[in-house]
Amino acid sequence: MQFEMQGRMAKKKCSAIMNLIHEFEKRHGKIRGSVKLLAVTKNQSVENIQTAIDEGQFSFGESYLQEALPKIEFFSSQKNLEWHFIGSIQANKTKKIAENFSWVQSVNSIQIAKRLHEQRPDFLPPLNICLQVNVSGEKTKSGIPLNEVVTLATECSSLSRIKLRGLMTVPAAKNNFDEQRTQLHPLKLMFDELNAAGFELDTLSMGMSDDMEAAIAEGATMVRIGTAIFGTRKK
């Protein structure tokens, strides 16, 4: 794979987003530092990723396996980086995902969870996973409905080579802050319900460039930001 210069570097953009996150944490009564930033680097060059690393960013999200693998390889000498797979998962891709990522946020079936468990190499720590939930019911969106979350979480917790860390969602696009909050709220309730039932979840991954404040207001612990850091993606 060729890495081309895109001439559009993410100078100081991660720190600008971190400042914004801190402002939203404060505005909505959250503890400073309680929300982590995942920099979403799909369609971004290694130069842009390096610029983000230079700013202290270490966790990155990728959606397409074929695109991600050469990037992960390129940065393999930097041991502190954390790669999160956030795209839709085909069964024939699970082995490479289990071997190369430290997190998979888009688990949406027990079949996929079992494959990741079986294929996670022994020399690596258990693979961190989130269950992807479809909160808005759109047919085009991936993820399980809310009423299947407890069952899948229970099934996943018996698989030793994966570690259930939390829930993730990509909601329907809404422009209105209150509507954004309303559709994220049930996921926060489900997150709290699972923890009350004894699951030890620490990750509620919701909030993208256009609904980051609503997600933080609703209790996100991780926001996944691409466009607001790197600019509009080249298609």
CB of 228 to ligand PLP, least distance (A): 6
Q: Rounded CA gap, 21 and 84, in Å?
A: 20
Q: Rounded CA gap, 149 and 132, in Å?
A: 9
- Member of 52, 97, 133, 208 binding ligand PLP (CB under 6 A): 208
CB of 207 to ligand PLP, least distance (A): 9
Is residue 209 near ligand PLP by the rule CB under 6 A? yes
Is residue 115 near ligand PLP by the rule CB under 6 A? no
Q: Rounded CA gap, 94 and 100, in Å?
A: 10
Is residue 131 near ligand PLP by the rule CB under 6 A? no
Instruction: Return the number of the residue (18 or 161) whose C-beta is nearest ligand PLP.
Output: 18
Distance of CA 92 to CAs 24, 42, 98, 149, 202, Å? Answer: 40, 20, 11, 24, 29
Q: Is 61 left (phi over 0), alpha (psi -120 to 50) or beta?
A: beta
Residue nearest to ligand PLP (CB): 226
Would you say 212 and 228 are in contact if contact means Cβ atoms under 8 Å apart? yes
Binding mask 72-91 for ligand PLP (x = CB under 6 A): --------------x-----
Instruction: Return the number of the residue (63 or 183) whose C-beta is nearest ligand PLP.
Output: 63
Is residue 170 near ligand PLP by the rule CB under 6 A? yes
Would you say 61 and 84 are in contact if contact means Cβ atoms under 8 Å apart? yes
- Member of 63, 108, 134, 180 binding ligand PLP (CB under 6 A): 63
215-234 residues near ligand PLP, rule: CB under 6 A = 224-228
Instruction: Return the number of the residue (63 or 134) whose C-beta is nearest ligand PLP.
Output: 63
Is residue 157 near ligand PLP by the rule CB under 6 A? no
| 151 backbone dihedrals φ, ψ, rounded to 5° | -60, -50
Instruction: Return the number of the residue (79 or 235) whose C-beta is nearest ligand PLP.
Output: 235
Q: Rounded CA gap, 194 and 190, in Å?
A: 6
Beta bridge partners of 224: 38
Strand (E) or helix (H) holding 166:
strand 162-169
Instruction: Return the number of the residue (121 or 234) whose C-beta is nearest ligand PLP.
Output: 234
End-to-end CA distance of the chain: give it in Å, rounded: 16
Q: Rounded CA gap, 182 and 28, in Å?
A: 15
Is residue 166 near ligand PLP by the rule CB under 6 A? no
Q: Residue numbers of the site for ligand PLP (CB under 6 A)?
A: 40, 42, 63, 86, 170, 208-210, 224-228
